[in-house]
Amino acid sequence: MCGLDLSEYLGNILAIDQIILNEDRHFNNLGLIKVKDGEYRPAPIFDNGKSFFTGNYSVQPYYSMEKNVRIPHMLPFRGSREEIQSILPASFSLNYGMCMQKINELKNSEEYNKIKKSWADLFPENILEYQLDKARKCIASL
């Protein structure tokens, strides 16, 4: 219809959703932007509000990170995370070093230390660090 090959776009969104544990990716939050008559481009990724265990009451602070990351499900893509990983584009890459540098900068910030309390292990940056390490290992094994 629009003449775009969206396989890389969709693959990258699914890869990012894997890393941030987004449970709410569905067809109403994927989009195209009309550039001009008859020309479209993929929309930036949006609607990531149900990521990092947000709103998932099955996740528990006394569970290990490994157990908690198995709880979220990607909707409506009911397959396992492993099945979804198998369709990710070969072009997906991850700058692990840069991501970890940003996470460490955040962890060393005064603001972070003011708000960190009993859910410390399940703070988004800890989840992200764990998930990035899993993604790095997965990409390395391809």
Range of the domain at 109: 7-140
Q: Is residue 86 part of a domain?
A: yes
Element (H, E) at 138: helix 124-140
Residue 1 belongs to some domain of the structure: no
In a domain, 130, yes or no: yes
> Which tokens go with 38?
């008859």
pLDDT tens by residue, 27-42: 788 888 888 887 888 8
**CA-based end-to-end distance of the chain:** 33
- Contact between residue 60 and residue 68 where contact means Cβ atoms under 8 Å apart: yes
- Both tokens of 66, joined, read 């490994």
Give mean pLDDT, residues 4-13.
79
- For the chain, the domain total comes to 1
Nearest to 8 by CA among 87, 80, 96, 99: 87
Q: What is the pLDDT of residues 45-104, one digit of tens each?
A: 888 878 887 777 788 878 888 888 877 776 656 556 666 666 666 666 667 777 777 777
